[in-house]
Copies of this chain bind each other. A is one copy, B any other.
Amino acid sequence: MKIVCIGSGNVATHMAIAFKEVGAEIIQVWSPNAQHAEILAALTQAEAIHNWADLDRTADCYVIAVRDDAIAAVAPHLADLKGIVVHTSGATAIDVLSATGKGYGVLYPLQTFSKTTAIDLKKVPLCIEADSAETLDKLSAIAHLISPMVSVVSTEQRSILHVAAVFACNFSNHLYHLSNTILAQYQLDFALLKPLIMETAQKIQTSDPRAVQTGPAVRGDEKTMAKHLSLLTGSPELQVIYEILSKSIKNTYN
């Protein structure tokens, strides 16, 4: 299995390492940033390339992991290859790759990747989509190399997954940050909340979040909510978020 990596950011790095670990060969890394390409190439014993003329055309799979708005620009350089060409974006339609000709698809890892955190891709759901049944078979086999959790997901479904992930992940992380800022104003240590945050995420692994909702809003405890709003007087933004989310909880359960 020979892979060419197009891109050198967080997703590209985690995917390249995962393929490497299961015995695939990363033969080349292309990146708009030559220095970043060198780093990922060194990490995976690959060749860093910067000119499209140097592209190795014998790979089984070309994995595009660049910024969403840069995918369309790289696609024409990946035309008429023997191997399949896939992008890794949650928010981008499969059609962006139609310029590559035949044999294209999407390999979207549903996870949040940071440079500093190791991710076990075997525990990451991979959402795949392809331009034909033949490509889908090939892509499915490639995806199963790095994770057992492979689902066929259409472009429309992937958009929905992406927006749902913003609520579940990006917004939750922001709430963690907001709670940290509330504590910092009173010299309280964010570490006090960490077990609670873990337990909240842990609980929904086996329970419907609707069934385990706690707090003043679901209890209809107006006195506590009024007290909380008065504690947030210094931050109208926090008050608005508190009111909107409490109202949404009340609408859900009442």
Contacts and interface: CB of A to CB of B under 8 A. Distances in A.
Interface of A: 68-69, 91, 110-114, 116-117, 119, 123-125, 127, 149, 151, 153, 156-157, 159-180, 182-183, 185-186, 188-189, 191-205, 207-210, 212-218, 221, 223-224, 227-228, 231-232, 237-238, 240-242, 244-245, 248-249, 251-252
19 contacts: A111-B196, A113-B214, A116-B207, A117-B212, A160-B182, A160-B185, A161-B193, A163-B182, A163-B231, A164-B193, A167-B238, A168-B179, A170-B215, A170-B216, A171-B175, A173-B204, A173-B209, A174-B252, A177-B209
The 8 A-B residue pairs with the shortest CB-CB distance, nearest first, are: A170-B215, A201-B201, A176-B209, A168-B179, A164-B179, A177-B209, A167-B179, A164-B182
Contacts of A149: 195
A197 B193 contact: no
Contacts of A160: 182-183, 185-186, 188, 231
Q: How many monomers of this chain does the complex have?
A: 2
A216 B113 CA distance: 14
A183 B196 contact: no
B166 A228 contact: yes
